[in-house]
Amino acid sequence: MISSPTAYRDVQQELVAEIQRTAFWPVVVSVDGNITKPEKTDFIDRDGSYIILIPDGNIKSLKAEILGLAEGRKYKFTRFWNSEARFVVAGANQFSMSQQTNILDYFSKFRIYNCIILSQVNYVLGKNSSRQTNINDVDTGMTLGVYTWFPYHSSDSCTEVNDITQLDSWVISAQGHFTKNIDLFPGKINNRLNGCPMKAVVRNSHWYFTTNYVYYNDSNYNERKYIEGLEYDLLRVVLQQMNMSFVHVPTPEGFEKKGETLNTNLVIGMFRKEIYIALGGVGA
């Protein structure tokens, strides 16, 4: 999906042509600058590619576009993202490092990691020229950098956007071309996650086949508890194979109860990256 204001038509056409040449993505085009998703589409599979053009790196504008994709008519989330969805965020001006960090961090809240940013690197008109940048210019002095980040790259960089990597650059010319012509969406997550935490909230289901709290007194007669159960044991085995650490997070309010409160608080905690997984017969 491409969303862009009228001034971006030439850039839009360049991007569409390059995408179709290199990846054969299905593309839906929206030209009003305000993305909304119809309840029904002609596509069999979930949408797999999006291009969002924003003029100045305004994160508020980007959030409005993303929420327009995710929300239904009554401002309720109607879908979860396809983990293989690809996003391109591009703008006419140079994005600062903090703007790039904010953009990528916002995507990561939706667990969207296949995201690249196209940002102006430099623009050379001549030493004595004072002409402002025009989006329709095709001067070879303009170069767009292609940037992204890699989650779970180390124990210090798990789902936090700390290091931004330049993958490639696009040189503006009559045809336009990438300097390296490498894969702009490489595989980012492998089977070894470098000791990153799996933040788990555990519901006491009082059933060994899921999870159960066992209470005891330590040597100072303080009450302690530990978790047992087949569900918990299975998770520990999986985490060991993936080189992840188990972190038991405090139980959110209402989590031990059934009903809408449980689901709401759980979703909020996951969106804030306070929780990654829930144990204890959550669906019961």
Residues 150 and 27 grouped into a single domain? yes
Q: Which of 13-17, 75-79, 278-282 has the lowest mean pLDDT?
A: 75-79
Residue 185 falls inside a structural domain: no
Residue 53 falls inside a structural domain: yes
Residue 183 falls inside a structural domain: no
- Residue 78's pLDDT band, with cuts at 50, 70 and 90, is very low
Last residue of a domain, one of 178, 213, 229: 178
Residues 140 and 211 grouped into a single domain? no
Give me the mean pLDDT over the 257-262 stretch.
Answer: 56
Number of domains composing the chain: 2
Residues 123 and 207 grouped into a single domain? no
Residues 161 and 107 grouped into a single domain? yes
pTM as predicted: 0.74
pLDDT of amino acid 117: 93
Among 8-22, 89-103, 207-221, 254-268, the range with the most confident prediction by mean pLDDT is: 207-221
> Is residue 125 within 8 Å of residue 85, measured between CB atoms?
no
245's tokens = 């650490």
Residues 84 and 157 grouped into a single domain? yes
- Cα separation, 13 vs 144, in Å, equals 16
The residue among 243 and 36 whose pLDDT is bigger is 243
Residues 171 and 139 grouped into a single domain? yes
Residues 21 and 143 grouped into a single domain? yes
Residues 108 and 237 grouped into a single domain? no
The residue among 71 and 275 whose pLDDT is bigger is 275
Residues 125 and 155 grouped into a single domain? yes
Residue 127 falls inside a structural domain: yes
The residue among 57 and 211 whose pLDDT is bigger is 211
pLDDT of amino acid 243: 96
Give me the mean pLDDT over the 182-205 stretch.
Answer: 91
- Residue 237's pLDDT band, with cuts at 50, 70 and 90, is very high
Helix (H, G, I), strand (E, B) or coil at 7: helix
Residues 205 and 156 grouped into a single domain? no
- Residue 280's pLDDT band, with cuts at 50, 70 and 90, is confident
pLDDT in tens, 132-177: 344 444 444 578 899 999 999 888 889 889 899 999 998 877 677 8
- Residue 222's pLDDT band, with cuts at 50, 70 and 90, is very high
88 dihedral zone (left: phi>0; alpha: psi -120 to 50; beta) = beta
Neighbours of 210 (CB within 10 A): 19
Residue 190 falls inside a structural domain: no
Q: Taking 90 as the threshold, does the pLDDT of residue 35 lie above it?
A: no
Helix (H, G, I), strand (E, B) or coil at 150: coil
Q: Which of 47-61, 187-201, 219-233 has the lowest mean pLDDT?
A: 47-61
Residues 123 and 261 grouped into a single domain? no
CA atoms within 13 A on the CB side of 20: 10
Q: Taking 60 as the threshold, does the pLDDT of residue 28 lie above it?
A: no
pLDDT of amino acid 52: 82
Residue 187 falls inside a structural domain: no
Last residue of a domain, one of 121, 146, 178: 178
Whose CA is closest to 133, among 90, 166, 91? 91
- Residue 246's pLDDT band, with cuts at 50, 70 and 90, is very high
Last residue of a domain, one of 118, 147, 178: 178
**Mean of pLDDT over the chain:** 76
pLDDT of amino acid 283: 61
| Unique residue bearing structure tokens 């999006």 | 50
- Residue 84's pLDDT band, with cuts at 50, 70 and 90, is confident
Residues 161 and 228 grouped into a single domain? no
- Residue 20's pLDDT band, with cuts at 50, 70 and 90, is low
pLDDT of amino acid 128: 39
Q: Alpha carbon of 221 to those of 190, 214, 224: distances in Å?
A: 45, 15, 9
Q: What is the domain extent for residue 253? A: 197-279
Residue 184 falls inside a structural domain: no
Residue 240 falls inside a structural domain: yes
